[in-house]
Amino acid sequence: MLDMYNVKDFGAVGDGTTVDTTAIQQTIDCCAEAGGGTVVLAGGTFVSGTIFLKSNVYLQVNASAVLLANPDIRDYADGTHYNRYVNEKDMDKCLIYAEDATNIGVIGQGEINGNAECFPNEGTIDRPMMMRFLRCAHIHVKGLRLHNSTAWTTAFLDSENIWCDGLDIRNDRRYNGDGLDYDGCKNVFISNCRILGTDDNLCLQASSKDYPMKNVHIVNCHFTSICAGIRIGLKSVGDISNVAIHNCTFENVWREGIKIECTEGGSITDIVAQGLVMRNVTRPIFIILNNRLDVIGSSVGLEAMPEIGTMARILLSDIIATDDEEMNNTHYRFTDDVMGCPSFNGIRIDACESHPIRDLTLKHVTYTFIGGVNKEDIPADYPKVWDMRFEHPDLVSENYYPTWSRTTFMDVRHVERLSLEGVKFHAFQADTRESYRIEHCTVLKEDVTEY
């Protein structure tokens, strides 16, 4: 029985203009019917619409090959949607899709190109994701260049035992330029990836109580983003736990480096981020515990405002965050979407007074900020986080507001058992705001130095 199937043997051309969707799918189907194996793209540019992966089949894109997304939206199948944000129907379609499959992979040293400049087609809003896996197990995505997706690069949903290694992800042509997105997955291993994008580089979420997000390992990766580097939460109906992040670098991230948001009633617990180096990251650390249904970004199926969830046992240690002259600038996503500026910078940790964060440690953190902000130039009133189930002011502190910081380096509110060990701050330029503020916290240790 064969275990290697070359798509050219099934009629694919690979000349960059002929549509090879049917030939690639026929090769995958024959491979699956024979018990599984590897389908190989080699020696050319293969144009394709939606490809359905099957159990026990690996799609291998060799170094001599490019899999190019067909610019014609009519070549993308229905039934691949499963996008769980209420406001993102334009990303329902997909280039590579698998559902209820096991032992599958997309591997090789070649390139998959989403052809972002060609979408959306005239008369449609559709921008296909590059890859989506739903209820799959034992997934390998390795070695590839994943470039120019027209929406998210990947979405792993309600799946388990996932390995993503050695990926070069470049997704900087369109909005929603995420890199690696996981929702309701367990046993996830991410290593040696470089991710550049216009949105969250790497995202861990749980949009269902039935599928917690847990046992995640992130190591030896590099992040550059117009938005966030690593985001944990926002979609947090279910629980997110057991996450270890080690030995990663962040450079030119115009929103947050490590961003943890429990906003939809679930829990985020047992998180370790250690050995991180950041250069020009607007907010190196951002953590918030709240509830926020009536805004863009809430989960499909969440119909009522949830009680605020829980956040506990978070350790952030051995972190160096350094600004240079670039951080004097205001940074935008594309032309007019402001991401950050000096008055917005800083470490921010916040929660509702009735639902504090518990057991948070910042240890051996050195933050060198560009400075140069005059406190007279920012609003005097700083809004609080409110329980949105009850009466509240029009403007409350939440995930994207306020758009300024009342301190130079760090603002922490409503934490029980806060420990600050070996935290050091320095500003290149004089800044007239308070250096840092700790408010409504029970503090176990406060070892903070400004120099």
What are the DSSP calls for 104-126, one per residue? EEEEESSEEE--GGG-SPTT---
Task: Write down all domains in the chain, each with its CATH number in brackets.
Answer: 200-290+308-379+405-451 (2.160.20.10)
Per DSSP, what are the bridge partners of residue 337? 333
203-218 burial, b at 16+ Cβ within 10 Å, e below that, comes to bbbbbbeebbbbbbeb
| 269 contacts: CB under 8 Å, gap ≥ 6 | 239, 240, 241, 310, 311, 312, 313, 314
Nearest-angstrom CA–CA distance, 176 and 226? 11
Using alpha carbons, select from 30, 70, 65 the residue that is nearest to residue 50.
Answer: 70
For the chain of 451 residues, list the mean pLDDT of each consecutive stretch of 10: 88 98 98 97 98 98 98 96 82 97 98 97 95 98 98 97 98 94 98 97 96 98 97 96 98 98 97 98 98 73 89 98 97 91 97 98 98 95 94 91 96 98 97 97 98 94
Which among 268, 409, 272 is positioned nearest to 351, based on CA atoms?
Answer: 268
- Residue among 267, 360, 260, 252 at smallest CA distance from 308: 267
- Gyration radius from the chain CA atoms: 23
The token pair that represents 354 in the structure block: 């009735």
What burial class does residue 375 get, using C-beta atoms within 10 Å of its C-beta: 0-12 exposed, 13-18 middle, 19+ buried? middle
Whole-model pTM above 0.95?
yes
Q: How far apart are CA 323 and CA 340, in angstroms?
A: 13
Cα–Cα distance for residue pair 250/156, rounded to 1 Å: 23
The CA distance from 158 to 143, in Å, is 23
Residue 192 gets the label, from left (phi > 0), alpha (psi -120 to 50) or beta, of left
Q: Which helix (H) or strand (E) holds 384?
A: none
Q: Do 68 and 15 meet the contact criterion of CB atoms below 8 Å apart?
A: no
Cis ω before 393 (30° cut-off from 0): no
How many Å apart are CA 369 and CA 256, to the nearest integer?
A: 14
Query: Residue 250 pairs with which residues in a beta bridge?
Result: 223, 278
